[in-house]
Amino acid sequence: MATRRAVVTGASSGIGEAAARALRTSGWEVVAVARRADRLAQLEAETGAVAFAADLTSDADVEALTEFLAGSGPLHALVHVAGGARGTERVEDGRVEDWQWMFDVNVLSAQRLVAALLPQLRQAAASDGHADTLFVTSTAAFTPYQGGSGYNAAKAAEGMLAHVLRLELNGEPIRVVEVAPGMVHTPEFTLNRLGGDSLAADRVYEGVENPLTADDVADVIAYALNAPGHVNLDLVTMRPVAQSAQHLLARGPLRPRGVESS
């Protein structure tokens, strides 16, 4: 079988970049997609992933990406990582433009990509046995929390898109995987959500022992795609040990109760 090829969105930083690197390490061809061409060029030089700059909220850019992929080889996997959060306001205080942006980048971009790329994924499945769609959502998709309403709503919608897609593709050899991380410490996610306030962003992770990293999530993505073609990981929920639930986060060292440290 020919080398498998994946398109990875959000590949200029964080989980998307780490996923592109992890898939390249495990032998995949990768088309790395994001808006920031300079970051993608560096990734291309370091890993051999093919850079393609695109804004996934733009129909024209998605069409250009679709045409590029169709003309450059088979497509075995869509790995949709691009997304993000803006704001922590109460529902009554939320800004419509922030909610609109979150739905555009998390939900509508996913629908655009599925609609555009599913024909190519079907072709690859027909010739090579199976194809994959994988969506990185969040524990925010199914656990509400104060200040998270817009992001909760957007990620819940993206998660439902994946669940419905799995039902609609029943009978086809195309896997639909959702990876839902909890707290992940990446350079940009919380900083962007809080409007560039670096001190406030640092406080989110303060005292938390070993929050997840982008590489942790990328390892799970690579595992899901490299699993035997008949194995579908419908939903992988992953959190750091320090985060037992969305609202229950340990700050300080983790240590067994009733046992003295040596």
Pairing between strand 174-181 and 235-238? Answer: parallel
**Residues 233 and 127 sit within 8 Å (Cβ to Cβ):** no
State the CB neighbour count (10 A cutoff) for residue 116. Answer: 18
DSSP H helices, the chain, are 14-25, 37-47, 59-70, 96-103, 109-128, 149-168, 189-193, 198-205, 214-226
Contacts of 6 (CB under 8 A, 6+ apart): 23, 28, 29, 30, 31, 75, 76, 77, 78, 79, 132, 225
| C-alpha to C-alpha distances, 80 to 11, 39, 138, nearest whole angstrom | 9, 18, 13
CA torsion angle for 96, 134, 63, 52 (degrees, to 10)?
100
Q: What is the CA radius of gyration of the chain?
A: 19
Pairwise CA distance, residues 21 & 27, whole Å: 10
Catalytic residue among 145, 151, 205, 223: 151
Non-local CB neighbours of 2 within 8 Å, separated by 6+ positions: 74, 128
Q: Is 151 known to be catalytic? A: yes
Picking from 177, 158, 249, 153, the residue whose alpha carbon sits closest to that of residue 207 is 249
Instruction: Give me the active site residues, please.
Output: 151
